[in-house]
Amino acid sequence: MIKKSLKDLALPITEQEYRKDPALSFSAISRFDREGFDKLDELNEEFTTPSLTFGSAVDCWITEGIEAFTERFTVADIPSIQPAIKSIVEALYKKFSSIYTTIFGIPSKAIEEEIRNSAWQPRWNLDTKIAKVLEQGEELYKFMQEAQDKVILSMQTYQEVERCVLALKNSDTTKFYFNEEDEDVERLYQLKFKHTLNGIDYRCMMDECIVDHKNKVIIPIDLKTSSKKEWNFFKSFIKWNYHMQARLYYRLLLETVKNDDYFKDFTILDYRFIVINKESLTPLVWEFPMTKVFGDIQFGKNNAYTMHDPELVGRTLRKYLDESPRVPYGISLEINDITRWLTDYTE
């Protein structure tokens, strides 16, 4: 029987409040590790892509329920619109919806800027691209005005989201993770935690934690909607630094329970990723057996891959954010030896 809920130890705040917290998150650390000093100013910028919107929709439906889904998303039977144009229109709406009720009122220079920020049709003439955005985006822009803060999904996207949710709930591989029938097991979603690790504040929001009160086990889980087939998830795991997510979230969860009279004797298992692709609909579970390892990890043939420790990256990132240097550490404002940097440079 459940004696105490892990939810009682989580932060009782909204997602909006959570995202405003200045503590370092996995997404900021991961992006800094991938893109470095040049993107420091963009670390906390919110950006939307069709893939992120789709993943958010699946995640919301399966972890928070259909009521939460309908509060955040709305379905529109609007004409087909290219994903790149949709992203441009959404960016324009975010900036100008309080000023212009029609996309035709937005200054051309602002539309040009959003087009340049995207990688859409780089060989097309700029005037042609502006005309396409206006032509295809006007109805979407108007619908967004009516929908207000809700995220708009096409009927096709909605049906794809629904198929993913059904597959996750019905697959023999994954239905255990979303079954609510065991009285000794809690399935908790979107728990938020924040702790100071070695002098630096970190935060996380976990897709799911399964708490087995009878066997005193906690299983931390993240749900991934992948553009790659489920059996190729290991490629995304490296590309997007999901190893950092597993290790950082584990440490924050451990910090949460280690001194609690009830949960201190529970064992936290290695992080699991539940992965689904909207085309193959073959959900798979991947486990990361190095979840509890500290320090950088090298693996693969001839140690071809290095998985950086999230706290080591976080320490450097925190230093950059606090000190705001003009150039990266190691680069001099006076004279630099170019051969030193060419030695380790790879295109």
pTM to 2 decimal places: 0.83
In order along its 347 residues, the chain shows pLDDT tens digits of: 678 999 999 999 998 899 999 999 999 999 999 999 998 988 877 666 778 889 999 999 999 889 999 999 988 777 677 778 888 888 888 888 888 888 888 888 888 888 888 877 878 888 888 888 888 888 888 888 877 778 888 888 899 999 999 999 999 999 999 987 788 899 999 999 999 999 999 999 999 999 999 999 999 999 999 989 999 999 999 999 999 999 999 999 999 999 999 999 999 999 999 999 999 999 999 999 999 999 999 887 887 788 999 999 999 999 999 999 999 998 999 999 998 888 776 65
Q: What does the alpha-carbon distance between residue 211 and residue 266 come to, in Å, rounded to a whole number?
A: 9
Angstrom CA distances, 302 to 50, 295, 299, 305, stand at: 37, 19, 8, 9
Can you list the pairs that 298-305 forms with residues at least 24 positions away whose Cβ atoms lie under 8 Å? Answer: 305/238
> What is the distance of C-alpha 284 from the center of its chain?
19
Reduced to 3 states (helix: H, G, I; strand: E, B; else coil), residue 332 is coil
Crossing angle of helices 310-323 and 242-257, rounded to 10°: 90
Q: 108 CB contacts (<8 Å, ≥6 apart)?
A: 130
Q: What does the alpha-carbon distance between residue 265 and residue 217 come to, in Å, rounded to a whole number?
A: 9
Q: How far apart are the first and last CA of the chain?
A: 57
Region 6-43+173-315: CATH code: 3.90.320
267-268 and 217-225 beta bridge pairing: parallel
Q: CATH 3.90.320 in the chain: give the residue spans.
A: 6-43+173-315
For tokens 């295109």, the residue is: 347
> What is the distance of C-alpha 131 from the center of its chain?
32
Angstrom CA distances, 232 to 29, 77, 238, 248, 274, stand at: 24, 33, 11, 23, 13
Where residue 91 falls (left for φ over 0; alpha for ψ -120 to 50; beta otherwise) is: alpha
83, containing H or E segment: helix 83-96
